Amino acid sequence: MRIDILTLFPQMFQGPFNESIFRRAVDRGLVRVNIHNMREYTHDRHHTVDDYSYGGGTGMVMKVEPLFEAVESIKSRAYPEDRDVPVILLTPQGRLFSQKIARELSQQEYLLLICGRYEGVDDRIKEHLVTDEISIGDYVLSGGELPAMVVTDAVVRMIPGVLGSMESVLEDSHATGLLEYPQYTRPEVYRGWSVPEVLLSGNHARIANWRREQSIMRTLERRPDLLESAELNKTERQLLERLRKSH
Ligand code: 9D3
């Protein structure tokens, strides 16, 4: 997969993309990420990328020309002509990012992400250039850079071969749609706090049961919304009913 990212702050991407899982994916040739500085696609002396909003109001708007020229330039240099490459704008008005969207995007061979800045972008960018708009949640950030990193991280993890031996684990925890059970590692006792006895019992059936129970309990307490779409078997549904009654 090839991911192109258009931004006014290319330096922001240095840290996260040199981290372990990501780096390994790049080294193995599973993914390539190219960061492009939008300012390089301006023609005026001051490299202007923003301007005042027609109709007035505070806050600047990202200009239309540099973005069109940048996207067209990347497309002509890097993508096969017959390919419909998704051009995704990170914006607070986008559809809410999810694991499902990450999985969908991981099927693509090319992705082009545009990081918004200022109060927003000239709407013609949304009308005529962008094919999809994504938000990562209902909180105010300073721009689309961190969201682009979040989306890239989630998507790259889903590319076959990136996680290697951890892949099956990922499948397991996502299959159910429940929150994870509590986990512990050595020491067995720390400051008098013991690891639950069942985990030391060596009884795999009991352990599996306990974990499932904990998962359901946690999900019921913290994220009851997840239970709507969780895939539960008969035992799990019965357990959930019992927990709901004793609540
Ligand atoms: C709330 C009114 N405006 C801010 C005073 C609108 C606004 C414009 C631009 C809010 C945030 C931003 C910058 N954020 C993004 O570009 C962004 C974002 C976000 O802020 N939250 C979650 N996902 C995303 S994706 C892009």
Q: DSSP code of 5?
A: E
Residues whose CB falls within 8 Å of the CB of residue 178, separated by 6 or more in sequence, listed in order: 215, 216, 218, 219, 226, 227, 230
What confidence category does residue 166 fall into, taking pLDDT thresholds of 50, 70 and 90?
A: confident
Which residue is closest in CA terms to ligand 1's atom 9?
A: 119
Band (pLDDT 50/70/90 cuts) for residue 213 is very high
Distance 187 CA to ligand 1 centre (A): 44
Q: Enter the tokens of residue 73.
A: 């330039």
Residue 29 has pLDDT above 60, yes or no: yes
Output the pLDDT for position 28.
Answer: 95
Q: 90-125 b/e with 16+ CB inside 10 Å = b?
A: bbbebeebeeebbeebbebebbbbbbbbbebbbeeb
Residue 227: is its pLDDT beyond 80? yes
Which comes out higher in pLDDT, residue 235 or 174? 235
Q: Is 32 left (phi over 0), alpha (psi -120 to 50) or beta?
A: beta
Query: pLDDT band at 170, cuts 50/70/90?
Result: low
pTM for the structure as a whole: 0.94
What's the CA-to-centroid distance between 240 and ligand 1, angstroms? 38
pLDDT recorded at residue 174: 52
pLDDT (tens digit per residue) in 130-159: 999 999 999 999 999 999 999 999 999 999
Q: Check residue 175 and give its pLDDT.
A: 61
Pocket of ligand 1 (CB under 6 A): 90-92, 116, 119-120, 135-137, 139-144, 147
Which residue's alpha carbon is nearest to atom 16 within ligand 1?
Answer: 143
Supply the pLDDT for residue 65: 98
169, pLDDT greater than 70: no
Q: Is the pLDDT of residue 62 over 90?
A: yes
Q: Is 51 a catalytic residue?
A: no
Confidence of residue 50 (pLDDT cuts 50, 70, 90): very high
Would you state the pLDDT for residue 247? 76
Average per-residue pLDDT in the chain? 95
